[in-house]
Structure 1
Amino acid sequence: MLSIATLKSRWTSFTGTFVAVFLGVAILSMTGLVLMSAQPEIPARYAGTQVYAQSASVGQEDGTFTDTKPWSPERTDELVRAFEAIPGVQKAVPDRNFYAQAVIDGKPAGDQDSGNPQGHSWASAALAPYPLSEGNPPSRPDDVVVEKAMGISPGSKISLLTGDGPKDFNVTGTVDAPGFYVTDATATKLASGVRIIGLVTEPGADLAAVESAAKAAQGTDGRVLAGAARTGLELKGDERVRWIGQQILVAMGSLGGFVSIFVVASTFAFSVVQRRRELGLLRTIGATPKQVKRMMFGEAIAIGVVAGIAGMVLGTIMAPLLGNLLVTAGLQPANFEVKTQAAPLLGSFVAGLAVAVAGVWAAGRRASQIRPLEALREAAVDKKPMTRARWISGGVVSGLGVLLLLVTMLSSSEDMITNALYSAMALIVGMTLLAPVIIPPVVRTLTLPLARRNGAVGMLVREGSLAAVRRTASTAAPVLVTVGLAVLIAGMFETRASGYALDEAVSTRADSVVVPQGTPGLNAAAVQAIPGTSLLPTELYGPEASHFGAIGVTPDEFAKARSRLTVLSGSLDNLKGTDSVVLNESTAKRLNVQTGQSTPLTFEDGKTVNLEVVAVITDNSAATQALLPRQTVREHDPSALTSAVYLVGSVPSQIGAGLGAEVMDMATYAAAVDAEEDRLVRIFIIMLIGMSLGYTALAIANTLMMATADRKRDFAVLRLSGATNRQVLKTVASESVLVVGIGTLLGLTVAVVALFGIKTGLSQQLGTTVSMTMPWGVIFSVVTICLLLALVASVLPARLALQAAKGAR
């Protein structure tokens, strides 16, 4: 009951805590609902067939979302015969896909994705199924069925871009579905290997029996997917986009939880400092330390329950809006819908309650140690701002932050961001715990100009901050979090982007680059029209679920274009024929082969070839694990598209009309090579900075309002000492500026240290010196917002307090 009574009488002091928990639960429930709804779905192309066989999956440790290992043509035929012999199976349909894109008015049409090929065999239309809307199915090599929405009638002609180049087709029919459907024979020539076989069953067939028989027929060469498990057929490109969206949601939840605990803990800690005399009075009238601690926990639980319920309601309302935002950003499919579920809502409520209790734990411990005589204490000077527990915990957490910083320097590019963020969080907590030790020298340094002046305001600001160092630390902590996280989040992505752009620029000898325009890559006809060094990406598959990125090149042209090419053994001149390969050092070690030895590797068409290692190069010699003769890649991967062609000297006057290509200078190309990744990263930055800024803005305003409202007696003493209202407000404003300056300095220190770890790690990975990029625009904006909030949250309550005191007289 005492806890409830305290909340009623001091509700303004707990407003910030309530809002922090409220927003924390809202964010957790919102992100939880979206995460639970963002599950893989059965692709529409496969929805009508209940049982599928899928080839063996490969390792995804490199984060590239590589597709499954294709079956060989012989194995595909063998499986089709075996599946069709199963009772209840009407036919087994190999799913053959290839790159196809229409050319309309001389330009590539549609927004194509290399991970979602639009060319299909007509037989695969039965898997959806997609019946003909009009016309007839394709029967000749140059026949095609197109999407009805294109507005092209049967009997018309259409030009399609394929891996080889533009081809003219006769439109024989239309379907109410996206894609281009050709004869099975044509699809076999244009497509890579088969990875999926659909088992079209007869009406009334026993699906469980069909599934069991299919598993027996397939053996260990992949897996059988039936019913709900067909979500495993999700395209790797869609899986990758969904994964990126999940990372944003997880980061939002993690950051929200961290900032919530930080805000609640700092608010309760500051509340204990303010309530020292009140708590001392409770001890005087007989309250035991356990009862005082129990009262503090009761307050936290009451706030947590009410704020948690309100947060769940807001999270449920906001979840669909977040889902729509992710769809608009391209991080979820167009048909994505958020489903309201009990588990994430209950989980967020429990998490909010835990945040409130965790936040008050340290404050409750300190409150229970207040002695009865504290009720008589008048001085605001901190007798012992640093306790033994604070020394130990501050040192341990700071040490953990330094350890994570060292891990960041040695991390892979995929883990570097996460480790840097955790390092910064640990350093922020550590610096906050050690703030009473760190702040005095910072205050003396920042207020040195004021100390040399004879004004009373400067003296009051300086000495007041030094005397009440815990109050100064508590009010500066939210600014430290805001500046530290915002600068780190923006700076680490800018540093990574500039590092990779620099690596691309310094490792390539070229004046300009030809890149795809409106297409996922350059086809063979476009490349033949360009006199330069081309890169034709593909994938190789090794033993035990291993896979290796490879590029088809012309050896002498590739050597001229690379400024960092270092051959450790062998010679690139021997990269010719159909059975040669160049490996980088780490791949050669992984396959346990040396120059002159052979290793079996599987191509995209499913054919396995014993490739002779003709040379081994350093890992930073090429942005791939293996080099192959360009013609070899073309023969085994008909849908392979060239990612770029490097040019030296003059640019050709015309680059194949309608072939989907454009020319850009090297600097522009280096900056644009990861344009899509940068777009997603910018979304990530905006959401995280916006959320952290909103949270800590609340903490800044709440803490300063609490601090100012608690100083009515101080203001009265200043007025009795002869200070005017203007001088009192000037003192308050100066203290706020000092607090923002302290928080900014400490926050920048944390961010710079973490960014240095990223810079060092990138420099080691890329083999070149990467500059640390500071986001000055973000720094200026965040500091300005913090300063404005601090001034409003301190000067306005002080002005109201002075007016109230004047009215009382």
Structure 2
Amino acid sequence: MISLATARERWTSFLGSFVAVVLGVAVLTMSALVLLSDGPQVPRRLAGAPVLVQSPAGEPTGGVFTQNPPWAPERAERLRRELGRLPGVEAAVADRSFYAQAAGTDQRVGERQGHPWSTVALAAYGLDAGRAPATSGEIVLDESLGHGPGERVTVLTARGPQRFTVSGTTDGPGYYVTDRRAAELVGGIRAIGLVLGPDADPERVAGAARRVVGGDGTVLTGDARDALAPKQDEMTRWIGGQVLTAMALLSAFVTVFNVSSTFAFAVAQRRREFGLLRTIGATPRQVKRLVYGEALLVGVVGAAAGAVAGVTLAPAMTGLLIDAGFQPTGFEVSIRWWVPAAAWALGVATALAGAGAASRRASLVKPLEAMREAAVDTRPMTRRRWGAGLVTTGLGAVCSVGTAFAGADAMVLLALGAAMSLTAGLTLLLPALTGPVIGTLTRPLARRSGATGVLVRENMITAVRRTSATIAPVLATVAFAVLITSAVQTTQSADTTRQAAAVRAEAAVVPHGMPGLSDAAVAGVEGTALLSTAVYGGEGAVALSAAGVAPGFEQVHGTRAPRGNTVVVTRSVAAAHGWGKGRTVPLTFEDGRSGRLRVTAVVDDTMPYQVLLPREVVRAHDPSALADVAYRTGAGTAPLPARLGAREVSVAAHAASADAEDDRLVRVFTLILVAVTAGYTMIAVASLVLTATAGRVRDLRVLRLSGATQRQVLLTLVTETCCAVALGAALGLAVAAPALFGIAHGLRRELGLPVELSVAWPWVAGVVAGCLLLATTATALPARAVLNRMGRT
């Protein structure tokens, strides 16, 4: 009952904790609901087949999601015939795909695919208008593209633009041509669909198919067919999972931080109250239970509100994730009742955990504190706090030095460790640092501003705990905002410099509105094009990124291009599979055929591909391969026709945009992390300032009785807040600086190139401005209300 009465009376002291718990549980609920929802669905072009057979899975490399290696053509055809003879099977159709895109359109990945007409039997849709293609010059396409039967359409393929006559349209995605025309463009076979008779039992047919397939594939029915969803969707889901997991963990950490800081400050302000309770007979255990009761009340109500908000906002959050590229198109969130229940329980536990230290501190208050009149913090630091602060700060300094000499993988971890350690260390040492630092920095203010400046200076020095409590969340906010954004910006800039330095060319021809460059787009470029594909080699058919290169590759990258039956591999691939120079290695290509090639060179891992092959070898085995880029080494060429989907840019511009999609995802991810961190800590700043202002009613009354005007009082309070925010921002920059300088030095040492530290000043300015706006608002509004009441009385 006392806890309830205290929370109702001192609601401003618990407002920040309440909001933090609400937001934390809401984020956790939304994240968990999305993470636990069903994954990608079976593609519509295969959904009409009750039984699907998938080729054996290869071994992924480097955490990259890749397609299964295709069957060898002879094995695929033999399986198709044997499966087609099973009882209840009307037809066994091999699924094949090739790159196709109507000129002038910007379609999603899954819609830029062409197929033989025979595979339409596997789809969950059919002809909507017109008829099937009968000649090599006819095509059936998606009705949403706006073309009808009889119209002429230009379709971009790996070989270049090709003209077709629309013979019909479908109500599903994709382009369908005759099987003979498709044979010129399709790659390998990775799936075979079984079209069943009307009375056939899918499970019985699947059992028979498993006996036929054996270890040469996987038979899928029902929901298991989702395994044939595009690997790009799976990768998108994985990226989204990392974002959601980071959001949930970060929100949980910051929630505990906010609850603990607000309760610690509230306990510090209520020492006289706790001393009075001890005077009238309350035991330390009862005082501790009182604080825990307040935290329990905040946790129960706040977590319930957060769980409801999380369930309500989950669909909207899913839409934002899809738009940002962190979930595949068509993804839908599933609501499970136990998720908000678990989030509610975790929110309550978080609130109690955050109040743990504050409850112990409250239980140690002595009865004599009831006699306390002054607000002077005579002993803000204990020996234990001094020791912890110095040790943590020293650890941060060691991590900062290590950042400059660590490898690429350890560099990020050491930088994060340095920032966290320095933030925690300076936060612990703030009560000791605040007095001397504030006294030094505000001495000019006191001299020039008269009584107001002196009052600001003395108030901040006297109430060290209040000043430190305001500075701490600003310090953490600015430190992590600067570190996260500037580290990403510096790393991206260094990667751009590295890529540009590795290329010797006059210009780069890059795709424009297409996933790659066709043969027609690079035909007139004097230089070399990198024809992107995938190969499979080593034990477990490991997927390796590969490129087909022409002789001009040596002039661009300084590595002799492979010729004939030869291959160039990177050092990591050579070490993993024992593919030294001179070895003959087996590789499986995109059409399912295998060959043995001799390794002529082993190059550094800075090469953008793991395997380099002769261009003619890649084109022979992957008719649908597209070039990622073509480097021009000779004189300028005539402008490329827009219909080819290519444009010429500088090498530096290409290096900056080569990973444009990855960079975009990184920027969005960074924005989310900064927004979550800054949002929570801004709430903490506003809450602490609001609590401090509400607890200074007696000070405000004394100032008014001493002759200060309402404007002077407000100016004093706002100036105190601005000084605290400014000091917190400065300390935040100081915390992040060693780690950032270490990252820049480490990148310069590792790359051997000039790497400049790049600070994301707009992000920093935005975070500091947000903290300043919230803090001053939380100071001025309640103070003004209090002063107005004083004026009326």
TM-score range, shorter chain: over 0.9
SS of the residue corresponding to residue 610 of structure 1 reads strand
Residue in structure 2 matching 1:300, options 288, 295, 300 = 295
Distance 1:525 1:469, change over 3 A: same
Residue in structure 2 matching 1:598, options 565, 572, 584 = 584
SS of the residue corresponding to residue 330 of structure 2 reads coil
How do 1:29-40 and structure 2 match up within 5 A?
Answer: 29-37=29-37, 39-40=39-40
Which residue number corresponds to residue 500 of structure 1? 495
Q: Within 2, Cα distance between the matches of 1:407 and 1:316?
A: 42
Which residue number corresponds to residue 271 of structure 1? 266
Q: C-alpha displacement at 1:598, in angstroms? A: 1.0
Q: Within 2, Cα distance between the matches of 1:198 and 1:419?
A: 51
Q: Within 2, Cα distance between the matches of 1:256 and 1:612?
A: 53
Residue in structure 1 matching 2:729, options 723, 740, 744 = 744
Residue in structure 1 matching 2:168, options 165, 173, 185 = 173
Q: C-alpha displacement at 1:679, in angstroms? A: 2.9
Distance 1:455 1:152, change over 3 A: closer
Which residue number corresponds to residue 373 of structure 1? 368
Q: C-alpha displacement at 1:362, in angstroms? A: 1.0
Q: Within 1, Cα distance between the matches of 2:397 and 2:227?
A: 41
Q: C-alpha displacement at 1:153, in angstroms? A: 4.2
Which residue number corresponds to residue 105 of structure 1? none
Q: C-alpha displacement at 1:56, in angstroms? A: 2.9
Q: Does 1:219 align with 2:205?
A: no
Q: Does 1:187 align with 2:182?
A: yes
Q: Within 2, Cα distance between the matches of 1:335 and 1:245?
A: 14
Q: Does 1:541 align with 2:528?
A: no
Q: C-alpha displacement at 1:408, in angstroms? A: 11
Distance 1:252 1:648, change over 3 A: same
Q: Within 2, Cα distance between the matches of 1:420 and 1:392?
A: 23
Letter in 1 for 2:665: L
Which residue number corresponds to residue 96 of structure 1? 96
CA contact (8 A) 1:112 1:518 kept: no
Q: C-alpha displacement at 1:743, in angstroms? A: 1.2
Distance 1:587 1:190, change over 3 A: same
Q: Does 1:619 align with 2:599?
A: no
Which residue number corresponds to residue 386 of structure 1? 381
Distance 1:633 1:761, change over 3 A: farther
1:502-550 CA-partner distances (Å, limit 9, x unpaired): 2222221223211112211111122112212211111121122422212
Q: Within 2, Cα distance between the matches of 1:263 and 1:537?
A: 49
Q: Within 2, Cα distance between the matches of 1:662 and 1:728?
A: 63
Which residue number corresponds to residue 563 of structure 2? 576
CA contact (8 A) 1:551 1:627 kept: yes
Q: Within 1, Cα distance between the matches of 2:421 and 2:457?
A: 29
SS of the residue corresponding to residue 508 of structure 2 reads strand
Distance 1:657 1:713, change over 3 A: closer
Letter in 1 for 2:546: A
SS of the residue corresponding to residue 643 of structure 1 reads strand
Q: Within 2, Cα distance between the matches of 1:395 and 1:663?
A: 56
1:69-94 CA-partner distances (Å, limit 9, x unpaired): 12211221232234334433333221
Residue in structure 2 matching 1:489, options 473, 484, 487 = 484
Q: Within 2, Cα distance between the matches of 1:114 and 1:396?
A: 52
Distance 1:79 1:770, change over 3 A: farther
Question: Runs in 1 of length 4+ with deviation above 6 angstroms?
Answer: 399-405, 415-419
Letter in 2 for 1:3: S
Which residue number corresponds to residue 288 of structure 1? 283
Q: C-alpha displacement at 1:560, in angstroms? A: 1.6
SS of the residue corresponding to residue 210 of structure 2 reads helix
Letter in 2 for 1:672: S
719-728 vs 429-438, greater mean Cα deviation: 719-728
1:360-382 CA-partner distances (Å, limit 9, x unpaired): 01111111111111111223233
1:159-192 CA-partner distances (Å, limit 9, x unpaired): 3222122333344333222211123343333112
Letter in 2 for 1:586: S
How do 1:74-89 and structure 2 match up within 5 A?
Answer: 74-89=74-89
Q: Within 2, Cα distance between the matches of 1:509 and 1:59?
A: 35
Q: Within 1, Cα distance between the matches of 2:215 and 2:748?
A: 43
CA contact (8 A) 1:604 1:636 kept: yes
Q: Within 2, Cα distance between the matches of 1:234 and 1:687?
A: 28
1:360-411 CA-partner distances (Å, limit 9, x unpaired): 0111111111111111122323343234554566567667767887689857
CA contact (8 A) 1:259 1:696 kept: yes
Which residue number corresponds to residue 684 of structure 1? 669
Paired positions, count: 791
Letter in 1 for 2:698: R
Q: C-alpha displacement at 1:95, in angstroms? A: 0.8
Which residue number corresponds to residue 62 of structure 1? 62
Which residue number corresponds to residue 16 of structure 2? 16
Q: C-alpha displacement at 1:726, in angstroms? A: 4.2
Q: C-alpha displacement at 1:279, in angstroms? A: 0.8
Letter in 2 for 1:194: I
Letter in 1 for 2:598: E
Distance 1:44 1:743, change over 3 A: same
Distance 1:19 1:185, change over 3 A: same
SS of the residue corresponding to residue 45 of structure 1 reads coil
Distance 1:451 1:657, change over 3 A: closer
Residue in structure 2 matching 1:551, options 547, 554, 562 = 547
Letter in 2 for 1:295: L
Which residue number corresponds to residue 236 of structure 1? 231
SS of the residue corresponding to residue 627 of structure 2 reads coil
What's the TM-score once normalised by structure 1's chain length? Answer: 0.91
Q: C-alpha displacement at 1:233, in angstroms? A: 1.2
Q: Within 1, Cα distance between the matches of 2:83 and 2:300?
A: 58
Q: Within 2, Cα distance between the matches of 1:434 and 1:512?
A: 55
Which residue number corresponds to residue 778 of structure 1? 763
Q: Within 2, Cα distance between the matches of 1:410 and 1:654?
A: 46
Distance 1:208 1:756, change over 3 A: farther
Identity across the alignment (%): 48
CA contact (8 A) 2:530 2:549 kept: yes
Residue in structure 1 matching 2:442, options 434, 437, 447 = 447
Which residue number corresponds to residue 637 of structure 1? 622
687-696 vs 415-424, greater mean Cα deviation: 415-424
Q: Within 2, Cα distance between the matches of 1:19 and 1:408?
A: 39
Q: Within 1, Cα distance between the matches of 2:282 and 2:445?
A: 45
1:447-492 CA-partner distances (Å, limit 9, x unpaired): 3434666944444433433333222221112212322233233323
Distance 1:765 1:38, change over 3 A: farther
Distance 1:712 1:612, change over 3 A: same
What's the TM-score once normalised by structure 2's chain length? Answer: 0.92
Q: Within 2, Cα distance between the matches of 1:560 and 1:67?
A: 33
Q: Within 1, Cα distance between the matches of 2:791 and 2:342?
A: 50
Q: C-alpha displacement at 1:772, in angstroms? A: 2.1
CA contact (8 A) 1:408 1:419 kept: no
Letter in 1 for 2:497: L
Distance 1:147 1:114, change over 3 A: closer
Q: Within 2, Cα distance between the matches of 1:231 and 1:420?
A: 40
CA contact (8 A) 1:115 1:236 kept: no
Q: Does 1:250 align with 2:259?
A: no
Distance 1:581 1:745, change over 3 A: same
How do 1:464-543 and structure 2 match up within 5 A?
Answer: 464-542=459-537, 543=539
1:75-122 CA-partner distances (Å, limit 9, x unpaired): 2123223433443333322110001122xxxxx232245676411122
Residue in structure 1 matching 2:320, options 316, 325, 350 = 325
1:543-567 CA-partner distances (Å, limit 9, x unpaired): 2242221221123x222223xx4x6
Q: Within 2, Cα distance between the matches of 1:522 and 1:607?
A: 24
Q: Within 2, Cα distance between the matches of 1:173 and 1:460?
A: 83
Over aligned residues, Cα RMSD in angstroms?
2.9
Q: C-alpha displacement at 1:275, in angstroms? A: 0.5
Q: Within 1, Cα distance between the matches of 2:73 and 2:672?
A: 47
CA contact (8 A) 2:524 2:637 kept: no
Which residue number corresponds to residue 73 of structure 2? 73
Q: Within 2, Cα distance between the matches of 1:697 and 1:270?
A: 16
